[in-house]
Structure 1
Amino acid sequence: MIEAVNLAKHYGAKTAVGGVTFTVQPGMVTGFLGPNGAGKSTTMRMIMGLDKPTRGTVTVNGKPYVQHRDPLHQVGALLDAKAVHTSRSAYNHLLAMAATHNISTKRVNEVIDMTGLAAVAKKKAGGFSLGMGQRLGIASALLGDPQTLILDEPVNGLDPEGVLWVRNLAKHLASQGKTVFLSSHLMSEMAQTADHLIVIGRGQIIADAPIAQILSGAQQAKVRVRTSEVTRLSQLLGNNGVKVECNENETLEVSGLDARQIAAIAMENNVLVYELTPLTTSLEDAYFNLTKDAVEYHSQEFNNEPVAAAVKGL
């Protein structure tokens, strides 16, 4: 379990993390989301004792990380996949880590096989691709069979098979009662992996809830309706707080009524409807809705004509 209470980090006048309180529970995968500059990496570094909080506390399995006598057995972390001795082989890198905790050579071989590194285990880590470096970082995090796993962008550089493997690994470890805390910019992957989300923006917690709750609360549910009588059906549906948006191809998007209610109104008024599809909110939509006021770095929209013209000329 990870517990942060009023955790804050200031760099002079700049606030990186502004006094956050949250708990990462065992037995589930908790996703950590936020725009660039939101405070994710700083928070993870404070959890691992790499940055000292300006105020507040954070504990892992009941203690600050630096107080654990057997940290590799308590916490496995991937914060920077490049933090390896580049002239060492993957095997020797893991062997050196294992020696600090009396971890057996058998376990070193187990994590090498588990992470798909067997074919390159004797090669120097400095020559690894981004994806293989990530696998070595994950192997290092798993080495001590820790109770808590902290992974920052674990699928960065991995191929589809590797992404699927990380997803299944996270779920498997959570099913064993372990605490799994991971960040990712891949919303589609987080939607399939996480059970719970903590969203941070400008150093403050924006959301801390089960992923299903965040999705359901993102915006009012919509139903896509196709009919040849768009205008008439719009008039029939558009009252009592119901919102009707008219799109192309004889299509409406209706908020405030479910598919059964729309079908009943259409049938009562002899309006032919040939599609009724409930539209689910994606995690990407929910995320952008939550963080729209917390983005520090804004990109220029491409519907801006001068920008679009410049891009077209590239």
Structure 2
Amino acid sequence: MIEAQSLTKRYGAKTAVNNIDFTVRPGQVTGFLGPNGAGKSTTMRMILGLDRPSGGFVRVNGKAYARHHAPLRQVGALLDAKAVHPGRSARNHLLAVAATHRIGAKRVDEVIGLTGLESVARKRVGGFSLGMGQRLGLAVALLGDPATLILDEPVNGLDPDGVVWLRRFARSLAAEGRTVFLSSHLMSEMAQTADHVIILGRGRIVADAPVSEILAGADGDSVRVRTPQVEHLTRLLEAEGATVSRAEPDLVSVKNLAASRIAEVAAGAGVVVYELTPATRSLEEAYLALTRDDVEYRTTQTSPEVNR
């Protein structure tokens, strides 16, 4: 479990993380989201004792990270998969890290198997692709068989098969009762992986809830209705309290009325309907709505000019 209370980090006049409270619980995958500059990396570094908080505190499994006598057995972290000597083989790198905690070669070979590194275990890391480097970083995180895993952009560089593998692997780790805390900018992947999300914006928490709750509370769910009798159906639906907007000559978007009720109204009035499609907001759309005022870096042009 990860617990933060009044966690704050300042760099001179800039406040990167501003008095945040959150709990990352075992048995589920918790996603950590936010725009660039929101404070995600700083928060992860404070969890791992790499940055000292300016205020508040954060504990992992009941203690500050630095107070654990064998932290690798408590917390596995993947923050920078490239922080490896390029001349070492993957297995020798894992053996070197394992030696710091008296972890044997048997466990090294186990994590090599878990992360799919068998065919490259004795090759130099300098020749690894970004995806294979990510797998090696995950193997390091798993060495101590920790109760808590902190993974920063773990799917970066993975091919589609690797992304699916990591998704299933993260969920299997949570199913074992571990705490899994991961950040990603891939909203579609996070929607399929995370049970719960914490969203940061400009150093503050803007959402901390189950994914299902974030989606259910997202303003904008609607129903697409296609009919040749647009005007007639619009009047009927507005009488039911719906908000109807025309999208195309024969297509309307209906809010504040369930698809089942729209169908009942249309059938009762003898209105022909060619399409009736609920359009639920995605996690990406909900995320963008929640963070629209917290984006530190935004483009000013809608389309680039091309010199011919």
In structure 1, the residue matched to 2:139 is 139
Structure 1 residue 118 corresponds to structure 2 residue 118: yes
TM-score between the two structures when normalised by the length of structure 2? 0.97
How far apart, in 2, do the equivalents of 1:300 and 1:133 lie? Answer: 35
User: Does the CA-based 8 Å contact 2:31-2:194 persist in structure 1?
Assistant: yes
In structure 1, the residue matched to 2:154 is 154
In structure 2, the residue matched to 1:230 is 230
In structure 1, the residue matched to 2:192 is 192
1:31-86, CA deviations, whole angstroms, 9 ceiling, x for partnerless residues? 00000000000000000000000000000000000000111110000011111122
1:63-110, CA deviations, whole angstroms, 9 ceiling, x for partnerless residues? 000000111110000011111122211111100111111111011011
Q: Secondary structure at the match of 1:80?
A: coil
Structure 1 residue 64 corresponds to structure 2 residue 60: no
State the shift of 1:267 in Å. Answer: 2.2
Identity %: 64
Q: Secondary structure at the match of 1:94?
A: helix
Unaligned runs of 5+ in 1: none
Deviates more, 1:104-113 or 1:241-250: 241-250
User: Does the CA-based 8 Å contact 1:215-1:283 persist in structure 2?
Assistant: yes
In structure 2, the residue matched to 1:284 is 284
Which AA in structure 1 matches 2:286?
Answer: A
User: Does the CA-based 8 Å contact 2:89-2:122 persist in structure 1?
Assistant: yes
User: Does the CA-based 8 Å contact 2:218-2:281 persist in structure 1?
Assistant: yes
Q: Secondary structure at the match of 1:254?
A: strand
TM-score between the two structures when normalised by the length of structure 1? 0.95
Structure 1 residue 268 corresponds to structure 2 residue 268: yes
Unaligned runs of 5+ in 2: none
User: Does the CA-based 8 Å contact 1:72-1:101 persist in structure 2?
Assistant: yes
State the shift of 1:220 in Å. Answer: 4.1
Q: Secondary structure at the match of 2:56?
A: strand
How far apart, in 1, do the equivalents of 2:164 and 2:299 lie? Answer: 30
In structure 2, the residue matched to 1:296 is 296
In structure 1, the residue matched to 2:93 is 93
Deviates more, 1:59-68 or 1:85-94: 85-94
In structure 2, the residue matched to 1:252 is 252
State the shift of 1:125 in Å. Answer: 1.2
State the shift of 1:240 in Å. Answer: 6.0
In structure 1, the residue matched to 2:55 is 55
Q: Secondary structure at the match of 1:273?
A: coil
Which AA in structure 1 matches 2:40?
Answer: K
Structure 1 residue 104 corresponds to structure 2 residue 104: yes
User: Does the CA-based 8 Å contact 1:16-1:39 persist in structure 2?
Assistant: yes
User: Does the CA-based 8 Å contact 1:220-1:256 persist in structure 2?
Assistant: no
In structure 2, the residue matched to 1:11 is 11
Q: Secondary structure at the match of 1:119?
A: helix
1:91-150, CA deviations, whole angstroms, 9 ceiling, x for partnerless residues? 111001111111110110111111111111112212211111111100100111100000
How far apart, in 2, do the equivalents of 1:208 and 1:258 lie? Answer: 27
Which AA in structure 2 matches 1:150?
Answer: I
In structure 2, the residue matched to 1:127 is 127
Q: Secondary structure at the match of 2:246?
A: strand
1:216-265, CA deviations, whole angstroms, 9 ceiling, x for partnerless residues? 10114211111011122112212464211211261111001111211222
Structure 1 residue 167 corresponds to structure 2 residue 167: yes
How far apart, in 2, do the equivalents of 1:260 and 1:240 lie? Answer: 13
How far apart, in 1, do the equivalents of 2:226 and 2:26 lie? Answer: 45
**Superposition CA RMSD, Å:** 1.3
Deviates more, 1:95-104 or 1:27-36: 95-104
Q: Secondary structure at the match of 1:238?
A: helix
In structure 1, the residue matched to 2:77 is 77
User: Does the CA-based 8 Å contact 1:202-1:296 persist in structure 2?
Assistant: yes
How far apart, in 2, do the equivalents of 1:276 and 1:135 lie? Answer: 44
Which AA in structure 2 matches 1:107?
Answer: R
